[in-house]
Amino acid sequence: MRIGIGYDSHRFVEGRPLILGGISIPYGKGLFGHSDGDCLCHAIIDSLLGAAGMPNIGQLFPDTEPQWKDAKSTELLKKVVEEITLKGYTILWIDSVIIAEEPRLNSFIPAMKERLKEAGIPPDRINIKPKTNEGMGFTGRKEGIAVIAISLLKKNF
């Protein structure tokens, strides 16, 4: 078995939709990023890549490449899931924490799991936990969102 950890954060900006876990969340601001800014997907991607011993998200999908501009992060995640599957890995478990003061996210978790299923992650193999930072740091000041994810993979022999 292999374990990997991923982290991502993005600041809020005006004029973009807020995308987390592949779904649009009603909120007055979105997340800045070269792609759609979906920091949940980005942290999951890095945790999967880490567990598989592969390069990080910035090496696979560099923000200097026009082809990734405004890309759907669920599509990037799908590519990574396909790649780790080709390398002989099965996802056993993904655990993630979304750190955000706003918006409140608990009611969106089932829809996120369903959307991530389209990227190849079975809903019964992922946990998504929204947490606040009790007013501390950039997330506490409502300047952005951070996500930590950990993945457990099994090598198929």
Q: What is the pLDDT of residues 34-90, one digit of tens each?
A: 999 999 999 999 999 999 999 999 999 988 888 888 899 999 999 999 999 999 999
- To the nearest whole percent, how much of the chain has pLDDT over 70? 100
Binned at pLDDT 50, 70 and 90, residue 31 comes out as very high
> 2-155: CATH homologous superfamily?
2-C-methyl-D-erythritol 2,4-cyclodiphosphate synthase (3.30.1330.50)
Query: Are the beta carbons of 44 and 5 closer than 8 angstroms?
Result: no
Tokens read off for 120: 């190849």
Is pLDDT of 94 > 90? yes
Instruction: Report how far Cα 116 is from the mean position of its chain's Cα atoms.
Output: 9
The single residue listed with the structure tokens 């993005």 is 10
Token pair 């942290």 is found at 43
**Model pTM score:** 0.96
Q: How far is CA 21 from CA 36, 56, 86, 126, 134, in A?
A: 11, 19, 23, 11, 23
Instruction: Map out the domains of the chain as residue ranges.
Output: 2-155
pLDDT surpassing 90 at residue 124 = yes
